[in-house]
Amino acid sequence: MQPSDRELIARIRAGDMEAFGQVYERYAQPVYRFAYHLLGNADEADDVKQDAFVRVYHALPGFRGECTLLTWLLKVTANLCRDRFKSQQRRGETELLPDIATRLPDAMRCSTDPLAALEKNFLSSVVHRALRGLPVQQRELIILRDLEELSYQQIAEILGCSVASVKLRLFRARRAFKERVESLMKQ
């Protein structure tokens, strides 16, 4: 039986690094996925994931347990991603684009129907481009709810707002996303 987050936190506070390794194993994938979907770059997402775990480790003595460990990790990850966006804007850089084009040959090799592989890759590209075209705040909401399947309450804790606000913002984000997808499909 897997130890609970509370048990792991208590063990980490007592100096048990193996417990932190278990936390890392448990939550590395969701943290990485969230960062990747926000940043669109595997290397940047991996950097943010590592930074998030380091920050959480150092801040763990002050963790009050008012939210789940995953919620806290995703909140830290969101803040780190926002910091990267601000840094890019200050330097006048454009946002990093998803590395979808590098996956095209793999998709074609794995399929017996090259046309189906191309269609699937096109749809994937449209979805990613539509998501990347949204403001960061809207992108966060769609990723947290629709890709990570978090509850409205968890999202509210991550974003520091009410559940009602999450629902309204998500409605608007989904509408904007749908409009972007439709626009890109017409091109």
How many CB atoms lie under 10 A from the CB of residue 76? Answer: 20
pLDDT at residue 111 in the model: 52
Whether 46 is covered by a domain: the verdict is yes
Whether 174 is covered by a domain: the verdict is no
Whether 2 is covered by a domain: the verdict is yes
pLDDT at residue 154 in the model: 94
pLDDT at residue 124 in the model: 78
Distance CA 74, CA 52 (A): 8
pLDDT at residue 99 in the model: 44
Top pLDDT among 41 and 27 is at 27
Mean pLDDT, rounded, for 117-145: 86
Flag the least confident range among 14-28, 70-84, 87-101, 122-136: 87-101
Whether the predicted pLDDT of 18 surpasses 60: yes
Top pLDDT among 117 and 152 is at 152
Whether 126 is covered by a domain: the verdict is no
Top pLDDT among 151 and 64 is at 151
Sign of CA dihedral 88, 33, 148, 174: positive
Whether 159 is covered by a domain: the verdict is no
Whether 90 is covered by a domain: the verdict is yes
As a whole number, the mean pLDDT across the chain is 85
> The domain that contains 64 carries what CATH number?
1.10.1740.10
pLDDT band at 11 (very low <50, low <70, confident <90, very high): very high
